[in-house]
Amino acid sequence: MPTKHPRVNVTRDPELNAAISRARPLMNGAAEATIVHDLAIRGAAALVEDERVRSEALEDLIAWSLGDDMDRETLRTIDDRAWRRPETT
């Protein structure tokens, strides 16, 4: 179908083929191009959300590590404890 938008060539490798096959039953008979389009749009949204969650978790970790509840002695010796080495003073 003619479109005013530029097209993108995509190699149909085994992973893409599997993704199309998994999505097909959920797409109510949509054309494969529509399935690939929707997978790309939803995939981009998922990547953005994954990055948001990762960034938020990192910010939480930083806040926790700088907070008053941090057990600094445990943190100082955590490597020794993890590897069961005698504590150093």
> What pLDDT, in 10s, does the model give residues 2-35?
789 999 999 999 999 999 999 999 999 999 999 9
The pLDDT confidence band at residue 87, using thresholds 50, 70 and 90, is low
Report in angstroms the alpha-carbon separations of 85 from 17, 78, 80, 88: 50, 10, 5, 9
Say yes or no to pLDDT of 77 above 70.
yes
Q: Where are the domains of the chain?
A: 14-82
Q: What is the mean pLDDT of the chain?
A: 90
Compute how many other C-beta atoms are within 10 angstroms of the C-beta atom of residue 18. Answer: 10
pTM for the model stands at 0.66
